[in-house]
Structure 1
Amino acid sequence: MKRDTFFHTKKLAEFMGFPFSLEEEKEGVAQQVIDLCSLQNLSDLEVNKTGFILLSVTTCSLGKERLVTGKII
């Protein structure tokens, strides 16, 4: 997986039923996912430095849309 991260990320997205569209591929969404999930990025997160994180939650209305695994459908 480390040798061809882009290929495996695309295959994993397809396996999970959420393949990247051509537009998403052109915009570099797969690479953004790879960057967000990198060990360097994860180790730099505040929660991993301090052991806790303060969350502020706001409420909103999605109307007829619903949020499913990060996508609004």
Structure 2
Amino acid sequence: MGLLYPATWFDLWHFAPQAVLTSEFPGAPYSFVLYAILLGLSYGYYSWVTGSIRWGTVSHIVQDSLGLAGGTFLAGMGLLL
């Protein structure tokens, strides 16, 4: 349960913005939530095995930074609306 509860809340937290923001791609919120489920379970498992959330947090920060930087880069090139 120490793995499922945090992963569930992680997933629900990531579903909230998808429920508010609309996307031109059908099914986009569900694919994002599925991705969040997989990440939540992997972060939770790794934290459980190591006994620390440190590297899961660092991984999440790096992933978010790359996603934001990638979106900014594509928008700057006119490839992202």
Shorter-chain TM-score above 0.5: no
Richer in strand (by share): 1
Higher relative contact order (CA 8 A, sep 6+): 2
Q: TM-score, normalised by structure 2?
A: 0.30
Q: Which has the larger radius of gyration?
A: 1
